[in-house]
Structure 1
Amino acid sequence: MKFAFYARVAALAGRPGHSVRRLARRRGAPAPLAAALAVLVAAWAAWSPEAARAAEPLAVPIVYLTVGEKEPPPLSLVEPIITDKGLAGARLGIADNNTTGRFLNQSYALTEVIAPDDKALAARVVALLAEGKRYFVADLHADQLLAVADLPGAKDALFFNIRAQDDRLRTDDCRSNVLQVMPSRAMKADALAQYLMKKRWSHWFLVDGQQPDDLAFVKAVHRAAKRFGAEIVEERPYSYKPEARRSDTGYMQIQGQMTQLTQEVDDYDVLVVSDESDIFGEYLPYRTWDPRPVVGTQGLVPTAWHRSMEQWGGTQLQNRFIASAGHVMVERDYNGWVAVRSVGEAVTRTGQADPASVHAYLVGDEFRLGAFKGEGLTYRRWNQQLRQPILLSSARMLVSVSPQDGYLHQRTPLDTLGYDEPESRCRLN
């Protein structure tokens, strides 16, 4: 009799508790025991294999990718050598995603890949794709980025570019599986040009470094000058001459070089320097022949992020990052954080973790990422470049934010920065 009774109770598992209680009361069980039995049966049903599987968190694995490079020593001993640029930002993004994810039954994890060379990088990405990894924070140069994005099996993955500024990635060499978090050189040059024209500093003296990245920024500056009506009154190349700059007389040698480089120039408002390699640009302020401000890659710098940013809740992000990483947040850190948060925002809003759903949401009209810049950030549909305000900062202070007032666009003023849709050959979405 008892066996038949409990078999009947088991058959009622998953049904309303009152069904179990009625059966127990008919069999003569006291009311408290009948109620307790109903609770136990409900718990049994809740912890069935199907329910247990439903309770498992939605796993979202993300991979950070880079090729190990030795950081060059900065020109100034005041600047620390940071060895985890980009990675530290991605780590904070994972922590922030999991803060929300715990309430939504989502779990984010970061795999950190620092490959010794390009060949090892490709092999590691192939293995990760085979494991099912589909989200990659790509802290890579342009050619490295394209190489991994074009790997077999990577077509349905998403690579978030947090380092390469090359305009060609937004105009000619676009990939449907690459989203551009780092602002392009054109965006930065346009942001700087808008501010200079707002100040009516329309006559520029351009000093060019001779490294490939320097020349790429020179091209962006020429484009911005033409676009916004500035005049480059003179342009001079600078070839780096190694000197004993930390010797007792090193400052005198540098002072002489910079003065000689900048003398006998027609009247100009501002000196624009292109030295992405950080070889000589820091030597120009206060050493020019004419007393003029220095802007560009040094001096007043256009950037996605700067340690001086404190508006729109920026101080909160800065403090959390310093507590986490032990150093200030630099541009690549911010980009790494934005990349990981983009995935987290899309998964949270859609409830899906597959790359097709996430990708569609990221380039759709509903996506808005709060990123401490005063407005929600979005991705351009045609080339998947992240729209965002560009900070203009000196060494210790935020000076302005572009786009500047008065520069309008039919979609958003943010599209006045960089290559607009008609200027790009990319048609990704």
Structure 2
Amino acid sequence: MHLVAGIVVARSGKTVLCSILVVLVLACTLDRDAGIAAEHTTEPPQPAAKVEIIYLGKSYNEPEHLSLIDKVLTDEGVEGARLGISDNNRTGSFLGQKYVLAEDIVPADSDVVAKAKQVLAQGPAIIVADLKAADLLAVAGLPEAKNAILLNIRSSDKSLRQEDCRANVFHIIPDWAMRADALAQYLIWKKWSRWFLLEGTKASDKEYVAAVERAANRFGGTIVEERPYKFETGAARSDTGYQQVQTQMPQATQGAGSYDVVWVADTDQSFGEYVPYRTYDPKPVVGTQGLIAVAWHPSYEQYAGMQLHDAFEQFAKRDMTERDYTAWLAVRAIGESATRSGKADVNDLRNYMLSDAFTVAGDKGEGMNFRKWDHQLRQPILVAGPRDVVSISPQQGFLHPKYLTDTLGYDQPESKCKFR
């Protein structure tokens, strides 16, 4: 007897023992039994961990733009949040996470606090807050909001980071102090250290003026004069008149002495757009108009900025504004926290966001994180003209022992924040 191709053959030729058939039958039986066992032991796939983000806003009566180039947007901010959700889900689909955006934007005459109570009735929530300072404080002060995460994407109000700071509020948008410091550093680097300050009359203008005064003291600038300016028109677009503006602006800026730049403080777009090219002395204009300090600018293209803008333009069919950017970044901060921590609970996400391990990429060349003393997001600030980014602050030579971005705004020793 000899073995041929796995079949045992008897020399007599009368008996062929097909032992391979027996082996195959045994193998199939074992496979079938293993398959039956697997059907009973394999766990069903786990549902994706859901991370719900609430976009809470109010349709405020916005000031009319002085320029027809600036279009009236009805979806500013929320489009950035939508893109952020899309980006989060791109990563979350591989990690068993699903991000959902719920949009609650109330009319101008409605009570946003009542809407917030409805949202928070379900328990601690993650809220992207597109709210002015007073409304943000009212929502943050609700007992139901104590364990929530509120991400401020609109208000640059200093008090929200100082005397009126809240433990449940995280600030994505830079405050007036960060903006003034970013511009001041660039002006000092340029050796344009003498500033003529032309200021509006609104409360936010006064706050920005105080930030400019602080920046001058910090970095060695000199304010040669502070001059209030009040410009009243019946209708911002139709009643200005080029001749009227051309006559008024030289008069308003005449006799300021020797200075390097006109620093405009017009946070509500009342007159600032009329200042460049119309001053009595031929000087650059900086501040809230002219050369500005912002978290985002449509012309920014470094560190994947161009890719972000292109993605937003394809998504929203328009340019990305600063509020679109801060809304996108707020949603991305939550996504980054959930991805790195592997958690979806609000308390877990808050703890991770305040840990040393947290950073979020905002396409500005460095990871961003939150200051523990006031919950302001550290970030580089773009110094930009109307059509191009001129520089990025902090500027070279302005040093800090830990974070260079802490040269912008209130550092820990200066902070008056006592969380409530």
* Counterpart residue number, 2:311: 320
SS of 2:90's partner is: helix
Residues 7-64 of structure 1 show CA distances to partners (whole Å, capped at 9, x for unaligned) of xxxxxxxxxxxxxxxxxx9xx97532541342243134325xxx34xx1000000000
* Counterpart residue number, 1:292: 283
Residue identity matched to 1:31: A
Residue identity matched to 1:196: L
SS of 1:356's partner is: helix
Residue identity matched to 1:45: T
- For 1:428 and 1:57, locate their aligned partners in 2 and report how far apart those are by CA, in whole Å: 35
Residue identity matched to 1:363: L
- For 1:164 and 1:339, locate their aligned partners in 2 and report how far apart those are by CA, in whole Å: 14
1:401 is the counterpart of 2:392: yes
Structure number with higher helix proportion: 1
* Structure 1 residues 248 and 296: alpha-carbon distance in aligned structure 2, compared to 1, 3 A threshold: closer
Task: Output aligned runs, 1:410-421, within 5 Å.
Answer: 410-421=401-412
* Structure 1 residues 118 and 414: alpha-carbon distance in aligned structure 2, compared to 1, 3 A threshold: farther
* Structure 1 residues 73 and 248: alpha-carbon distance in aligned structure 2, compared to 1, 3 A threshold: closer
Residues 264-298 of structure 1 show CA distances to partners (whole Å, capped at 9, x for unaligned) of 11010000001111111011111001000000000
Larger C-alpha radius of gyration, 1 or 2? 2
Question: Residue 34 of structure 2: which of 19, 30, 38 is its match?
Answer: 38
* Counterpart residue number, 1:227: 218
1:60 is the counterpart of 2:51: yes
Q: Indicate conservation of the 8 Å contact 2:124/2:145, yes or no.
A: no
How far does residue 152 in structure 1 lie from its aligned partner after superposition?
A: 1.8
Question: Residue 329 of structure 1: which of 320, 330, 338 is its match?
Answer: 320
- For 1:366 and 1:210, locate their aligned partners in 2 and report how far apart those are by CA, in whole Å: 43
Contiguous gaps of at least 5 residues in structure 1 = 1-24
- For 1:244 and 1:338, locate their aligned partners in 2 and report how far apart those are by CA, in whole Å: 35
* Counterpart residue number, 1:127: 118
Q: Indicate conservation of the 8 Å contact 1:62/1:133, yes or no.
A: no
- For 2:88 and 2:151, locate their aligned partners in 1 and report how far apart those are by CA, in whole Å: 16
- For 2:62 and 2:415, locate their aligned partners in 1 and report how far apart those are by CA, in whole Å: 33
- For 1:353 and 1:246, locate their aligned partners in 2 and report how far apart those are by CA, in whole Å: 48
Question: Residue 77 of structure 1: which of 42, 48, 68 is its match?
Answer: 68
* Structure 1 residues 181 and 118: alpha-carbon distance in aligned structure 2, compared to 1, 3 A threshold: farther
- For 1:425 and 1:130, locate their aligned partners in 2 and report how far apart those are by CA, in whole Å: 32
Residue identity matched to 2:337: A
Task: Output aligned runs, 1:134-213, within 5 Å.
Answer: 134-213=125-204
* Counterpart residue number, 1:9: none
Q: Indicate conservation of the 8 Å contact 1:118/1:144, yes or no.
A: no
- TM-score normalised by structure 2 residue count: 0.91
SS of 1:171's partner is: coil
- For 1:148 and 1:68, locate their aligned partners in 2 and report how far apart those are by CA, in whole Å: 16
SS of 1:328's partner is: coil
- For 2:126 and 2:109, locate their aligned partners in 1 and report how far apart those are by CA, in whole Å: 19
1:350 is the counterpart of 2:346: no
- For 1:308 and 1:124, locate their aligned partners in 2 and report how far apart those are by CA, in whole Å: 36
1:379 is the counterpart of 2:370: yes
- TM-score normalised by structure 1 residue count: 0.89
Residue identity matched to 1:120: D
Residues 278-334 of structure 1 show CA distances to partners (whole Å, capped at 9, x for unaligned) of 111011111001000000000000000000110001000000001111111111111
Residues 90-139 of structure 1 show CA distances to partners (whole Å, capped at 9, x for unaligned) of 11111000000000000000010111258632222112112235100001
1:237 is the counterpart of 2:228: yes
Residue identity matched to 1:35: D
SS of 1:388's partner is: coil
SS of 1:257's partner is: helix
Q: Indicate conservation of the 8 Å contact 1:217/1:274, yes or no.
A: yes
Residue identity matched to 2:346: P
Residues 132-173 of structure 1 show CA distances to partners (whole Å, capped at 9, x for unaligned) of 351000011111111111112211110000011111111111
SS of 2:373's partner is: coil
How far does residue 82 in structure 1 lie from its aligned partner after superposition?
A: 1.5
Q: Indicate conservation of the 8 Å contact 1:245/1:254, yes or no.
A: no
Task: Output aligned runs, 1:349-368, within 5 Å.
Answer: 349-368=340-359
How far does residue 341 in structure 1 lie from its aligned partner after superposition?
A: 0.6
Contiguous gaps of at least 5 residues in structure 2 = 1-21
Q: Indicate conservation of the 8 Å contact 1:308/1:397, yes or no.
A: yes
- For 1:101 and 1:70, locate their aligned partners in 2 and report how far apart those are by CA, in whole Å: 37
1:115 is the counterpart of 2:115: no
SS of 1:311's partner is: coil
Question: Residue 306 of structure 1: which of 297, 307, 324 is its match?
Answer: 297
* Counterpart residue number, 2:7: none
Q: Indicate conservation of the 8 Å contact 1:352/1:358, yes or no.
A: yes
- For 2:240 and 2:60, locate their aligned partners in 1 and report how far apart those are by CA, in whole Å: 32
Question: Residue 270 of structure 1: which of 238, 261, 266 is its match?
Answer: 261
* Counterpart residue number, 1:392: 383
Residues 161-199 of structure 1 show CA distances to partners (whole Å, capped at 9, x for unaligned) of 001111111111111110011101000000100000000
How far does residue 74 in structure 1 lie from its aligned partner after superposition?
A: 1.4
Q: Indicate conservation of the 8 Å contact 2:369/2:378, yes or no.
A: yes
Residue identity matched to 1:41: A
Q: Indicate conservation of the 8 Å contact 1:204/1:272, yes or no.
A: yes
